[in-house]
């Protein structure tokens, strides 16, 4: 079975640019999560979807971060405009109900100059 | 609000030695508890999980963890580590009311010396 696929693996952006990160969850999973990972803050939840409906978006990330589930097998995370402090690894994860176990992609490493 | 604390940012052990990673949680009820591992340049992988029942749970690669409600803890252990166990280990919890959303600790980086 294919796991969670994230693209691109690496992205370099100039300050002020718009970037879009992509995620394909495990087939058949109902829950999809976007997390941001930094050394200082650890893993922070950006967005949580259940069956394509937005269940939660991290309050601190609302203004420039927008996650969408275009269909049950594809999600995007848009950051607009980017700032240097957005440099981090962005992890996508999916889960089935009610397993509780999250399956993670390898992450997209974003560097904003 | 729920939280997870991993008090040790880094742990260094020699190959063959035992390992214990500490995890404390804060939540008003009994949560679901997890340990994940992250190897370099990879995503997180599940080591083990606790939902209910026997407080000692076995996981992959001979890891085990013990749940203590009285101490609000879920410590991870391994009797004899291998160099390949060098990684970052995350403790996490989820709440029944919040679906499968996980709250993570900051992680503990483990370095196994040959």
pLDDT digits (tens, 9 = 90+) for B45-78: 999 999 889 999 999 999 999 999 999 999 999 9
Q: How far is A50 from chain B (nearest CA, A)?
A: 9
**Beta carbons of B101 and A93 less than 8 Å apart:** no
Asked whether residue B10 carries a pLDDT value surpassing 80, the answer given is yes
Averaged pLDDT, groups of 10, chain A, 113 residues long:
89 96 94 93 92 84 88 94 96 84 94 96
For β-strands B24-26 and B3-5, DSSP reports them as antiparallel
Q: Quick one: pLDDT at residue A1?
A: 58
**Alpha-carbon distance values, A21 to B17, B108, B112 (Å):** 41, 27, 34
Q: Quick one: pLDDT at residue B45?
A: 94
| Residue in B with minimal Cα distance to A39 | B106
Candidate from B32, B51, B104 with C-beta closest to A42: B104
B49 or B96, which is more confident? Answer: B49
Q: Quick one: pLDDT at residue A58?
A: 75
SS (H, E, C) A31-97: EEEEEEEECCCEEEEEEEEECCEEEEECHHHCCCEEEEEEECCEEEEEECCCCHHHCEEEEEEEECC
Q: How far apart are CA B34 and CA B48, in angstroms?
A: 6
**Beta carbons of A102 and B100 less than 8 Å apart:** yes
CA end-to-end span of chain B = 41
Asked whether residue B98 carries a pLDDT value surpassing 80, the answer given is no
Q: How far apart are CA A95 and CA A50, in angstroms?
A: 9
Q: Quick one: pLDDT at residue B108?
A: 97
Contact B94, B32 (CB under 8 A): yes
Supply angle C-alpha A107, B65, B32, rounded to 5.
65
CB-CB neighbors (< 8 A) of B49 in chain A = 100-101
A71 and chain B: CB distance < 8 Å anywhere?
A: no
């Amino acid at each position: 079975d294919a796991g969670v696929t994230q693209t691109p693996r690496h992205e370099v952006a100039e300050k002020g640019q718009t970037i879009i990160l992509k995620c394909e969850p495990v087939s058949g999973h109902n829950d999809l999560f976007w997390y941001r990972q930094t050394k200082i803050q650890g893993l922070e939840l950006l967005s949580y979807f259940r069956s394509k409906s937005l269940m939660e978006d991290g309050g601190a990330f609302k203004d420039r971060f927008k996650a969408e589930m275009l269909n049950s097998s594809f999600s995007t995370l848009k950051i607009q405009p980017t700032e240097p402090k957005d440099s981090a690894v962005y992890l996508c994860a999916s889960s089935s109900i009610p397993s509780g176990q999250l399956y993670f992609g390898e992450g997209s490493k974003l560097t904003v100059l | 609000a729920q939280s997870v604390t991993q008090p040790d940012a880094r742990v260094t052990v020699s190959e063959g030695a035992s390992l214990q990673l500490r995890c404390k949680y804060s939540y008003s009820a009994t949560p679901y508890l997890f340990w994940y591992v992250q190897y370099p340049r990879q995503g997180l992988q599940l080591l083990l999980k606790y939902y209910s029942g026997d407080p000692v749970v076995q996981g992959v690669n001979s890891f085990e963890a013990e749940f203590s409600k009285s101490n609000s803890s879920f410590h991870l252990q391994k009797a004899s580590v291998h160099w390949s166990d060098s990684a970052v280990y995350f403790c996490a919890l989820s709440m029944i009311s919040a679906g499968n959303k996980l709250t993570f600790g900051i992680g503990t980086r483990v370095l196994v010396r040959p």
